[in-house]
Chain A
Amino acid sequence: MRPRQMRPSTRPEPDPPRVPSAKSLAGSKDPHRRKILVLGLRRAGKTAIQEVVFHGMSPRDTFFIEPTFRVSKEDVNTIIPLQLWDCPGGMPVENLDVLLDAFSTLVFVIDIQDEYSHAISKLVHLMAMVYTVHPLINIEVFVHKAESMSEDYKIDNFRQLQERVYDETIDHPLPLENLQITFHLTSVYDHTIYEAWSRVIQKLIPPLAALENLLNVLCSNSGLSKAFLFDIKTLTHVAADESPPDATTYGLCCEYIQTLLQFSNLYKYPQSSRTHQPLPPPQLTSTHTPSSSIPARKGTQPLSIPNSKTSRPPPANSTHSSAPSTLSNTSVDLDPADSRVWSTSSVRLKPQTTLAYWEITNQLSLVALIRSETYEASQGLIDYNVTFFRKAIHRIVDIEKAKWPSGD
Chain B
Amino acid sequence: MKKKVLLMGNHDTGSGKTSMRSIIFSNNLASATSRFGATIDVEMNHVRFLGSLVLNLWDCGGQETFLDSYLASQRNTIFRDVGVLIYVFDVETRDFERDISYYIECLDACRKNSPEADIFVLIHKMDLVTGGKRERTRAFELKKRELDKYSGSTPIKMFGTSIWDETLYKAWSRIVHTLIPNAPLLSSHLTSFAKICSAIEIVLFERTTFLIIARSGTSTGDLDDVIPPEAGPDSDPNVINPERFEKVSQLIKAFKVSCSRMQEQFHSMEIRFPNYTAVLELMTTNTYVMAIVADPNVQTATLRLNIRLARERFEELQAGSAG
Contact = CB atoms under 8 A, between A and B. Distances in A.
Interface of A: 58, 60, 189, 248-249, 251-252, 255-256, 259-260, 262-271, 273-274, 277, 282, 340-353
Contact of A252 (B261, B267, B276): B261
B271 A260 contact: yes
Nearest to A256: B255
A273 B255 CA distance: 30
B244 A249 contact: no
Given A189-B31, A349-B259, A273 B268 contact: no
B237 interface: yes
Interface string B258-290: 110110111111111111101000000000000
Interface of B: 31, 164, 200-201, 237-241, 244, 247-248, 251-252, 254-255, 258-259, 261-262, 264-276, 278, 292, 294-296, 299
Which 6 pairs from chain A and chain B are nearest by CB?
A: A349-B264, A274-B296, A345-B271, A266-B244, A341-B274, A350-B265
Contacts, number: 115
Contacts of A345: 269-272
A341 B296 contact: yes
Contacts of A269: 200, 237-238, 275-276, 294
A266 B259 CA distance: 22
A267 B247 CA distance: 11
A25 to B, nearest CB: 39
Contact of A347 (B241, B269, B273, B275): B269
30 contacts: A189-B31, A251-B258, A252-B258, A255-B254, A255-B255, A259-B252, A259-B254, A259-B255, A260-B271, A263-B271, A263-B278, A265-B241, A266-B240, A266-B248, A267-B275, A269-B237, A269-B275, A269-B276, A273-B275, A274-B274, A274-B294, A274-B295, A274-B296, A341-B274, A345-B269, A345-B270, A346-B270, A347-B267, A349-B267, A350-B267
A347 B241 CA distance: 23
Nearest to A58: B164
B269 A267 contact: no
A58 B30 CA distance: 13
A197 to B, nearest CB: 20
A353 B240 CA distance: 33
Contacts of B251: 259, 262-263
A192 to B, nearest CB: 14
